[in-house]
Amino acid sequence: MSTPLTRPLAEPAPAIAPGAWLGLLGGGQLGRMFCMAAQSLGYRVVVLDPSQESPAGSVADRHLIADYLDPDALATLRDLCQGATTEFENVPSAALEFLGRTMRVTPSAASVAIAQDRISEKTFVAGHQFPVAPFMVLRTRADLKRVPQKLLPGIVKSARLGYDGKGQVRVGTRDDVAQALDAMDGKPCVLERLVDLQAELSVIVARDDHANLSAWPVAENLHRSGILDTSIVPARVDAALADEARRIATALAAALDYRGVLCVEFFVASGGELLVNEIAPRPHNSGHYTIDACVTSQFEQQARVLAGMPMGDTQQHTPAVMLNLLGDIWFPAPQGPAREPDWSRVLAHPRAKLHLYDKREPRRGRKMGHVTCLGATLDDALATAVAIRRELGMRAWP
């Protein structure tokens, strides 16, 4: 296997004690849950995010409303904080590089730069001999002449800023590929062969300055229109396959010389072949269940690693099914006005844990919250999830 991205630190920096300030770039719901976890450990958090109303900014100890590359805001973070992290991969790596000169930053700018560019990500993963679906890079229209038939049908994916199914076009012919490239304004893309899916899985892992690794159980994920709908944990897959997913995820974190929390998403192709789909250098939607169903949540672990503290136990103590709550359920009638769902119907289930993100404007497809259904068995958790889906008017699982 190839060597890691960088060499591990010979002497990790001293731990950051509770009471210190931690910086967070990004103000979304992942940042909100990080703030809560860090504050419960005794840290104070300052959020840098350009939006005046942000889920993380509403709970942070301080909110800097500025662009991520704003010199004054970055200088404030530099002077106030002892460590900084990010809640989404599209934060400019230059901001992380600036902060990393004077403080602990996890993950590093180099790791984030790989994950925020699909070409770099695919090249890195394949180059380190991790299994991926066959792909090729499309930088210009001239590359269309080299598209092999074996990659069709496939999916054209934008190299940057693609998430929740955005920036992706299914293609069946070379003409389709050309049209997809035009639709993306000729920007660099990846053409990936369409996979005959049996399942989609994800593994959340964490790695610290001492190269210690921890991993949570494998999640089985159901998507709708490219957006995560449901996570079922533990995944209903063969134990050997789950072990292999965890092995690959931890090995990938080591190859990146990663520090922080990382999500590795997998396709299970026909025949049980395990393929790395993509990586996210942060906590992940499919790991929200860890808040209620594990000894240590992904967000607490993120704070522990950032602060240089020992990592917590990732053991799952309760089977769980996590339902993503999208803005669609605020619109029960196709053309009607938004209406707040009746949350009492969710909370009437004593083992359902409701998490709302304090987003003021519901929109279709917008992540507004999640509910984690716990159970003595996975079947119990699934039964609760089925009932809650019905009561909230969510579409049934396929």
Based on the fold, state whether residues 160 and 109 are members of the same structural domain: no
By percentage, how much of the chain surpasses pLDDT 90?
86
User: What's the predicted TM-score (pTM) here?
Assistant: 0.94
Average pLDDT over residues 32-41: 98
The whole-number pLDDT of residue 1 equals 35
Q: Give pLDDT, residue 265.
A: 98
Is the domain of 351 the same as that of 279?
yes
Q: Which of 177, 193, 209 is the last residue of a domain?
A: 193
312 with 165, same domain: the answer is no
Boundaries of domain holding 65: 21-113
Q: Which two tokens stand for residue 320?
A: 């769980």
Neighbouring CB atoms inside 10 A of 100's CB total 16
Mean per-residue pLDDT for 6-28?
81
What is the pLDDT, as a whole number, of residue 185? 87
pLDDT of residue 167: 80
CATH code of the domain in which 184 resides:
3.30.1490.20
Among the candidates 82, 113, 144, a domain finishes at 113
pLDDT at 8 over 90: no
Looking at the structure, tell me whether residues 170 and 27 fall in a common domain. Answer: no
Contact between 293 and 318 (Cβ < 8 Å): yes
Q: What is the DSSP string of 268-331?
A: EETTS-EEEEEEESS--GGGTTHHHHBSS-HHHHHHHHHHTPPPPP--B-S-EEEEEEEGGGG-
Q: Are 188 and 257 found together in one domain?
A: no
Instruction: Say if residue 178 is in the same domain as residue 212.
Output: no
Pair (314, 285) in one structural domain: yes
Q: 248 with 285, same domain? A: yes
pLDDT in tens, 105-140: 999 999 999 988 999 999 999 999 999 999 999 998
Count Cα atoms within 13 angstroms, Cβ side, for 214.
24
Instruction: For residue 29, tell me if it sits in a domain.
Output: yes
Is 200:265 a contact under the CB 8 Å cutoff? yes
Residue 364 has pLDDT above 70, yes or no: yes
Partners of 252 in beta bridges: none
How many other C-beta atoms can be found within 10 angstroms of the C-beta atom of residue 137?
A: 15
What amino acid is encoded at 226 in this protein? Answer: G
pLDDT at 226: 87
Residues 271, 154: one domain? no
Same domain, 177 and 234: no
- The three-point CA angle 196-239-250 to 5° equals 85
- Tell whether 377 and 280 lie within a shared domain: yes
pLDDT tens column, 39-97 = 999 999 999 999 999 999 999 999 999 999 999 999 999 999 999 999 988 899 899 99
Range 273-282 average pLDDT? 96
Residues 163-203: pLDDT tens digits?
A: 555 688 999 999 999 999 998 888 999 999 999 999 999 99
Q: Write the Ramachandran bin of 23: left for phi over 0, alpha for psi from -120 to 50, otherwise beta.
A: beta
CATH assignment at residue 87 = 3.40.50.20
Place 397 in a pLDDT band, splitting at 50, 70 and 90.
Answer: confident
Q: Are residues 230 and 207 in the same domain?
A: yes
pLDDT per residue over 299-328, tens digit each? 999 999 999 999 999 999 999 999 999 999
Mean pLDDT of 146-175: 86
121 lies in some domain: no
The total of structural domains in the chain comes to 3
Q: Is the pLDDT of residue 345 over 80?
A: yes
Burial 267-285 (b: 16+ CB within 10 A, else e): bbbeeeebbbbbbbbbbbb
**If you compute the radius of gyration of the chain from its CA atoms, what whole number of angstroms results?**
21
Give the sign of the dihedral formed by CA 228, CA 229, CA 235, CA 238: negative
* Span 219-244, pLDDT tens digits: 999 999 889 999 999 999 999 999 99
Best CA proximity match to 194, nearest among 224, 166, 172: 172
Q: Which residues pair with 23 in a beta bridge?
A: 46, 84
